[in-house]
Structure 1
Amino acid sequence: MKTKAVRLYGKKDLRLEEFELPAIKEDEILAKVVSDSICMSSYKAATQGTDHKRIPNDVAENPILIGHEFAGELVEVGAKWQHKFKAGQKFSIQPAIYYNDGPVGVLSAPGYSYQYIGGDATYVIIPKDVLVQDCLLAYEGPGYYPASLAEPLSCVIGAMHANYHTTPGSYKHDMEIVDGGKMAILAGVGPMGLAAINYVIMREDRKPSLLVVTDIDQARLDRAASIYSPEWAKSKGIELIYLNTSGEDPVAKLRGLTDGEGYNDVFVFAPVPAVIEQGDAILGHDGCLNFFAGPANPEFSAKLNFYNVHYAYTHIVGTSGGNNDDMVESLEMFGKGLDPAGLVTHIGGLNAVIDTTLDLPNIPGGKKLIYTHKNIPLTAISEFEEKGKSDPLFAKLHEICQRNNELWSVEAEDYLLANAQDI
């Protein structure tokens, strides 16, 4: 079967090509990709090339497929997996695959390391590596874009589970955020911050009593508040405050919201030293700072208050990605009504992947959602109305989004899949 895909040959060398996939083996699965959400990690991989730890050294001769936040349908299932999967099933992928024989393959991942599997393609071959680690996950919910966004949501879920706290007189670490505690999400209204807000509010087993979300861009804060409102959070038992920290003494403002006690759990969603130091300064006793945002610079550093580490038992963790259990929890949360549409600000076709990936840091907004069988320029949802004046497709998409609080939806996706031009 032929596939069309974006392949990486080296630093900033991405090519949209059509080529033949080999016949699947008995321990492989042929799959149709429907949607892929472009991640900043793909930008890092594309710009770093073989300097990236997940990119093989021989990509110039054996290019890899990029994209790792994808969903679609299974087309043909190899004999060894027919007991578990069947053609026609919808799926999501956990790209952080692991091997049973130690850390040999920890860094290998779909979208970084393989010739025939990656999200920015029309058809892919799901290899044994993914299948034996249970990283192919069936998705039974509506639409496809939620399954594409299960991976970024799993990263947020993993971060929440990775935070820890201590018990005086004990060396036991109690994993998880503090139930009923005070939480701050700094630089928290980008795509991943929005996913975190959504998850924290929707979660049923534990949640903070106070959630403060910061940014220095009031328009972004206002958009977040319109999607995940303080009123909605209050109905779930959480006091949600959106705070602009662009003014003087943001630390005093943040600590003031806790009557000076500080926060149990602080998440930093931007690789900015000043934001990390701000997070450190607002930690309460036994507070945990989670550095979530991955920096591109291997020399990146920031100052921490080690007096507080010693006497106030403050501590820091860092998380990168989620595990399989986190992915399963993502998909379960979708079944309970969590809709990740608030993350999506742009849609496009496979034709838009190269320019979008290489220019991703300069494109404002949230997630850029790609429909890989379609030929659509990358377009912000906010631009649908204007484009709709000359293009009936965008006119209808604008109408649908307007009825859904200016958000993407399964209805909009269904219309696009039925009416947009094929690639």
Structure 2
Amino acid sequence: MKTRAVRLYGKKDLRLEEFDLPPIKEDEILAKVVTDSLCMSSYKASSQGTDHKRIPDDVAENPIIIGHEFAGELLEVGSQWAHKFKAGDKFSIQPALYYENGPVGILSAPGYSYKYIGGDATYVIIPNEVMEQDCLLKFTGEGYYPASLAEPLSCVIGAMHANYHTTPGSYKHKMEIVDGGKMAILAGVGPMGLAAINYVLHREDRKPSLLVVTDVDQARLDRAASIYTVEFAASRGIDLHYINTRAMEDPVKELKTLSGNSGYDDVFVFAPVRPVVEQGDAILAFDGCLNFFAGPSDPNFSATFNFYNVHYAYTHIVGTSGGNNDDMVEALDIMSKGLDPAGLITHIGGLNAVADATNNLPNIPGGKKLIYTHIDMPLTPISDFEKLGGTNELFKELAVICSRHKGLWNVEAEAYLLANSK
């Protein structure tokens, strides 16, 4: 079968190409990709090329397919996996393959390391190790885009689970955020910050009593507040505040005042910016945990941390960048119970838009860029649909559909796009 895919050959060398896939083996699965959500991690992979830990050294001769936040439909299942999967199953993939009993340092991942699987393709071959590690996950919900966004959602789920707290006199750490505690999400209205807010507001088993979300972009704060409202948070027992720290004379003092001067039990930093990291450190409560979520591109990135407080106030830090299989399963489950990740999406595009968009991702404003791999379409902000609809019937109808859903992407719009686009 022929596939059309965006392949990486070296630093910033992404090419949209058509080529043949080999016949699948008995331990492989042929799949149709429908959606892929572009991620900053793909930008880093493209920018670093073979310097990236997950990119093979021989990509110039054996290019890999990029994209790792993808979903689609299984077409042909090898006999070894016929007991578990069947043609027609919708799927999502956990791209981080963990080998508990394998060699140390294995970092292979779909979207980084493989010739025949990645999200920015029309058809792919899912290799045996994905199924062996239980990283191929069925999706039974509506549409496809939620399954694509299960991967980024799983990353923030993993971050919440990775935070920990201590008990003086005990050496047993209590994993998780503090139930009923105080939480701050700094630089928190980018795509991943929005995913974190969405998860915190919908989580059933534990939640903070106070959630403070900061940023320096008022327009992005206003958009976040319109999607994940203070009123909805209150109905969930959470006192939610959106704060523009740019307007504050002394952000640390004012944020601590908002906490009742006790500080925050759980602080999440969503931008690799030194002042933001240091601000997070400064607002930690006793036994507060700072989660540095945002992966920097600079290998020498650093920030100061108050080690007086580490010693006397038990403050501590953890870094997370992804989730595991359990986090993916939880992401898919919580979506089936009503969490819609559409608020993360600001742009829609086709496979032809991937290479330029990936290589310029930091310069494109907004949230998640969602790609439909079987169509050709410029990367287009959802907010531009109405204007473009003046001369384009497709965008006209998409604008009408999205207006019925608070201006957000939705399953109805997805179905219309797939049925009517080129």
Per the normalisation by structure 1, the TM-score is 0.99
Q: Which residue of the partner structure matches residue 299 of structure 2?
A: 298
**Moved segments of 4+, more than 2 Å:** 99-106
RMSD value, Cα:
0.7
Structure 2 residue matching 1:246: 3-state secondary structure: helix
Alignment of 1:2-401 (within 5 A): 2-104=2-104, 106-247=106-247, 248-401=249-402
Q: What's the CA shift string for 1:72-118, capped at 9, x where partnerless?
A: 00000000000000000000000001224334463110000000000
Unaligned runs of 5+ in 1: none
Q: Which residue of the partner structure matches residue 405 of structure 1?
A: 406
Structure 1 residue matching 2:349: 3-state secondary structure: strand
Residue 17 of structure 1: CA displacement? 0.3
Amino acid at match of 1:314: T
Task: Pick closer, same or farther for the CA change 1:161–1:20 going to 2, 3 Å.
Answer: same
Structure 1 residue matching 2:146: 3-state secondary structure: helix
Structure 1 residue matching 2:327: 3-state secondary structure: helix
1:203 and 1:61 mapped to 2: Cα distance? 46
Amino acid at match of 1:123: Y
Residue 253 of structure 1: CA displacement? 1.2
Deviates more, 1:244-253 or 1:33-42: 244-253
1:368 and 1:169 mapped to 2: Cα distance? 48
1:344–1:369 Cα contact (<8 Å) kept: yes
2:296 and 2:135 mapped to 1: Cα distance? 26
Residue 129 of structure 1: CA displacement? 1.2
1:413 and 1:134 mapped to 2: Cα distance? 28
How many residues are aligned here? 421
Structure 2 residue matching 1:34: 3-state secondary structure: strand
Structure 1 residue matching 2:277: 3-state secondary structure: helix
Amino acid at match of 2:220: R
Residue 168 of structure 1: CA displacement? 1.4
1:99 and 1:260 mapped to 2: Cα distance? 44
Structure 1 residue matching 2:279: 3-state secondary structure: helix
Structure 1 residue matching 2:365: 3-state secondary structure: coil
Residue 64 of structure 1: CA displacement? 0.2
1:304 and 1:105 mapped to 2: Cα distance? 29
1:390 and 1:332 mapped to 2: Cα distance? 40
1:266–1:283 Cα contact (<8 Å) kept: yes
Q: What's the CA shift string for 1:266-289, capped at 9, x where partnerless?
A: 000000000000000000000000
1:237 and 1:147 mapped to 2: Cα distance? 28
* Percent of matched pairs sharing the same residue: 78
Amino acid at match of 2:294: A
1:420 and 1:232 mapped to 2: Cα distance? 36
1:61 and 1:286 mapped to 2: Cα distance? 51
Residue 320 of structure 1: CA displacement? 1.3
Amino acid at match of 2:404: R
Deviates more, 1:377-386 or 1:91-100: 91-100
Per the normalisation by structure 2, the TM-score is 0.99
1:303 and 1:201 mapped to 2: Cα distance? 31
Q: What's the CA shift string for 1:277-310, capped at 9, x where partnerless?
A: 0000000000000000000110000000000000
Task: Pick closer, same or farther for the CA change 1:100–1:292 going to 2, 3 Å.
Answer: closer
Q: What's the CA shift string for 1:212-247, capped at 9, x where partnerless?
A: 000001110000000000000000110000000003
